[in-house]
Structure 1
Amino acid sequence: MPRNLIFITYDSCRFDSARAAKAPNLAKLGELEQRFSYASWTAPSHYTFLMGLVPHSSPAHVYASDVYKNDFRRWSDRLDIPDLRFETFLPQLSLAGMLKKHGYRTVARVSMPVLNPFTVLNNAFDDYRLMPDHNDFKGMVDEIGFSRDQPSFHFFNLGETHYPYMLRDNELPHISGLHGVAKTLAAGGDAGGMAQKGSDMDAETFFASDLLKGLHAQQIACVEYLDGLLGALFDKAPPDTWFMIMGDHGEAFGEDGFFGHGPVMHPKVFEVPFVEGLRPRKASVF
C-alpha cells in the first residue's frame, strides 16, 4: 500500500522564525531548509501546493521547466508509488485528484477563510472543512484517523503562525492600533497582516518600533507551541507516513518599512521553511 501523506502549511511563517524556534519534533523530521514561496499570499500559494508543487530553492543555471518536472517526479519517492511525473497530474493538475486515482482518501482542514470549501481549492477532496477557529491545530490532531486498508492524504493549513500569532483568546497581543485587527482575525477575518488606519501612532514610529520585534517573537513562540502538537501527531500517525511541513509565504516585521504580506514585495515575505520525511520513531516531549 502507498504511504500516507500529511501535508502541513504554517501560514505566514517565515524561515527565520522556524529556525529560531525550539522545535525538536520538526528537527526529528529532517533538515530544515530555507526555500521560497511562489506567491506572497495564502490563496495563490495553496493553489500551487494543491497542484503538486512545493516552495522552490531558487536554483541557478537551470530551466524553470526542469525544476517543475523534477518536483513532480519527487512524489514517487515520497509516496512509494512508481512512475509519478507531471503527466500523472493531468488534466486537472491536482495533487488530491492524482492521489484519489491511486486509492487515497483525501481530507483537508483549513484555518484561513480565503481557503474555505467554496473555493476552487476544494477539488477532489472527500472531506474538506474550514475550522471554526483559525488557531486550532489541536482540534485537527484530535480528530485525525487512519485506515489499515486505505492510504490517506491529510492537508492541514495552520493559522497559529498567521497574524496575530495567537494561541488562545487571552493571549492576543495588546498593541495600540493593531488590537482591532487582531480581534477581526480572531473572528475569522483576514486583514492580510496590515496595520489599520487610525492607529494611535504614526506610520514612521510604528515601523521603527520594537512592537514588530515583539510580533516576530510571538510568531516564533507559535512555532514552538505547534511543535508540541506535531509530536502528538507523530504518535498517532502510522510508521509509514510521509510528512511535509512548510510556510506558504513569509512575513515582514518592519524590515525596510514593511509589515505583513500580500501586496509586499520583500525577500522576507518569500523566505519560508521547508522540511519533509518519514514519521520519526518517537516524538520529543518538552
Structure 2
Amino acid sequence: MSEDRSEDRPNVVWITLESVRAANASVCGYDRETTPNLSRIAERPDGVSFPNCFSQSMWTPASSASILTGTYLSEHRVGYDGKAEEPLPEDVATLPGLLREQGYRTACLTPSSYLSEATGLDRGFERHHLFLLRKAFHDAETRRGALRYLLRSRSYGPGFSLNVRKHNQTYVMQETLKPWLDSLSSDDPPFFLYTHCPNPHLPYTPPRKWIERFTDDIAYSAREALELSLETYDSRDRMIQRIADGCPFTSDEWDALRAMYDAEIAYADEFVGTLFDHVRKLDAGKTLFVVTADHGDLFGEQGILGHNLVLHDHLTNVPMVVSGLDGIAGARDSVVQHVDVTRTVAERLGVSHEQFSGVDLRETAPDYALSQRGVPHFDEYLEADPEFDVSRYHETPVTALRTDEFKYLKGSDRTELFELPDEETDVGDERPAVRDRLDGRLEDAFHGMTVRDGTHENNGTAEYSAAMEQQLADLGYL
C-alpha cells in the first residue's frame, strides 16, 4: 500500500449492525458492557463516538438505502411502501457507485435480501454477495466460513440444532470477510467495503459463548430466556399477536428478553473488534472505519415489539463510531444522522454529489436529524384483534425532526410534539411556539429536495427469489 494512496485515497470499511439501539450500547452510556470493542475504537486518538446519531428510518431497507445514497426515505423510496417492493430509482446515485467511477474497488457482503439486486441496493458494488445461511455450505464464497462455524458451533452457535433460527450468521460472515479484506488489501487501488452484520435481529438467540453473559441478575435461567425469545418472536404472526394483545409481558419476562438482546449485541461487538484488528494488521491504520446500526428495537415502548409503526428514539437513535476521519470530533455531542456521515465520507474521498443531504461534519456541527416512516399496514394487527387501537399511530407516512430537546412528528393526518425524553405526551398545544418553529425548520429542510410521491416514472417492482423470501420469513418480515 503506497503512502500517497493511503493518505489521499484511503480505504473505507463500513459496518452496519442490525437492530442495535444506542440505549443498550455501553459506548453510548449503557450500564451493561455490551460494546467494549466499539468503546476501544472510539477511545483511540483517531476515533470518535457519536451518542446522538440517528438513522433515517426504523427498518433495514429504508435506513440502508439512506446510508448508501446519502438521501432521505422520501427521496430514495426504498421501503416507503412499507414492504420494500419499490426498488431504488435508476437516477439515484450510490456512494459505492460514485467511488467505483473514481477507481475504487467496491464490495458488499450482506445477509439481508433487502440489500440485494431485488431492491437495487447492490448498485455500484463491483463485488456483491448475498449470504443466505440455508445455502452457506453450497456457496463457494461462504463454504469455508460455514465449515469453520460448524466446528465451533458449540461456542459460536447453539451446538447441534436443526432450527435455522437458533443459528447465527455472524461468525460465517467474519470468516468470509477476512479473505475478502486480504484480497482487497493486496492490490493498489483503494477499496470501499460495506457489510451488514445480522445481529442482534430478532429472535434474539445469542451463541452459547455469550448466552449467560447478562443472566446473573434476572429471574430466568439462560435457557429459559432463550426459549422465551424464540416463543415471542417465533413468527411474524406471533409477534403481531403479542403487539395486538398489548405486549403482555411481566417485568421478569422483559428482563429475560433484554438479556438475550444484550448478549447478541456483545456478540456483534466482538465481530466488529475482530474485523477492526484484522484491518489494522493489513494497513497499519490507514483505513476509515465506520460502525453504526440500521435501527434499534422496541420492548413495549409505544406498544411495539421489534421495529414497527413508530419513530421512537429507541428505533432511530443508534451507535455511531468512526475511526480515521480527521476533523469530526467537534460534532461529537451534536445530533447527527447517517446522511451526515455518508456526506462527510464522500467529501473526504472526493466524490461529493449534489444529491447528498446532510452536512460535512468536518465543517458543521448539526443540531437536528430527520427520520421517516413510510406507509403503515394495520390490517395484520386488526386481524389479530379487531379492537386494536390504530389511532395512537400515524395513519399516513410521517417525518420526525429530532433536536436535543424535542421531537416533532408530521404526517398528513396530524402533528405531534414531544418534549424529550417523554414520547407519549403530545405538548404541541402547550408549546405552540416550539411546534411552529420546528414545523418551519422541517419545511426548510425539505426545500429543494427531490421528494418523490410515487408518481414518478415506473421503476419496476422488487423481485425476491424464493430463497430471499425464505430468508425474510426467517427474520419475521413475511
| Alpha-carbon contact 1:7-1:244 (below 8 Å) kept | yes
1:142 equivalent in alignment to 2:175: yes
1:26 equivalent in alignment to 2:38: yes
Change beyond 3 A, Cα 1:209–1:109: same
Match of 1:120 in 2: 120
Residue among 189, 198, 209 paired with 1:159: 198
Residue among 14, 17, 32 paired with 1:7: 14
Superposition TM-score, scaled by structure 1 size: 0.71
Match of 1:220 in 2: 262
**Please, which runs of 5 or more residues in structure 1 have no aligned partner?**
55-90, 185-190, 280-286
Residue among 232, 239, 263 paired with 1:195: 239
| Alpha-carbon contact 1:208-1:254 (below 8 Å) kept | no
Cα displacement (A) at 1:169: 9.2
1:52 equivalent in alignment to 2:104: no
Counterpart-to-counterpart distance in 1, 2:249 and 2:232: 18
Helix, strand or coil for the counterpart of 1:175? Answer: helix
Match of 2:151 in 1: none
Change beyond 3 A, Cα 1:228–1:268: closer
Change beyond 3 A, Cα 1:127–1:135: farther
| Identity score, percent | 29
Change beyond 3 A, Cα 1:240–1:105: same
Q: Superposition RMSD on alpha carbons, in Å? A: 3.1
Cα displacement (A) at 1:115: 2.4
**Please, which runs of 5 or more residues in structure 2 have no aligned partner?**
43-47, 73-90, 134-166, 212-222, 326-478
1:242 equivalent in alignment to 2:288: yes
Cα displacement (A) at 1:126: 1.2
Change beyond 3 A, Cα 1:257–1:100: same
Q: Which runs of 4+ in 1 moved over 6 A?
A: 169-172
Match of 1:59 in 2: none
> Number of residue pairs matched?
233
Helix, strand or coil for the counterpart of 1:245? Answer: strand
The higher-RCO structure (CA 8 Å, 6+ apart) is: 1
| Alpha-carbon contact 2:107-2:125 (below 8 Å) kept | yes
Helix, strand or coil for the counterpart of 1:210? Answer: helix
1:179 equivalent in alignment to 2:224: no
Which stretch shifts more, 43-52 or 22-31?
A: 22-31
| Alpha-carbon contact 2:247-2:305 (below 8 Å) kept | no
Which stretch shifts more, 268-277 or 201-210?
A: 201-210
Counterpart-to-counterpart distance in 2, 1:169 and 1:44: 32
Residue among 2, 8, 17 paired with 2:24: 17
| Alpha-carbon contact 1:29-1:278 (below 8 Å) kept | no
Counterpart-to-counterpart distance in 2, 1:138 and 1:202: 35
Larger Rg: 1 or 2? 2
Cα displacement (A) at 1:161: 1.3
1:68-96 Cα deviation digits (max 9, x unpaired): xxxxxxxxxxxxxxxxxxxxxxx643100
Helix, strand or coil for the counterpart of 1:106? Answer: strand
Which stretch shifts more, 27-36 or 134-143?
A: 134-143
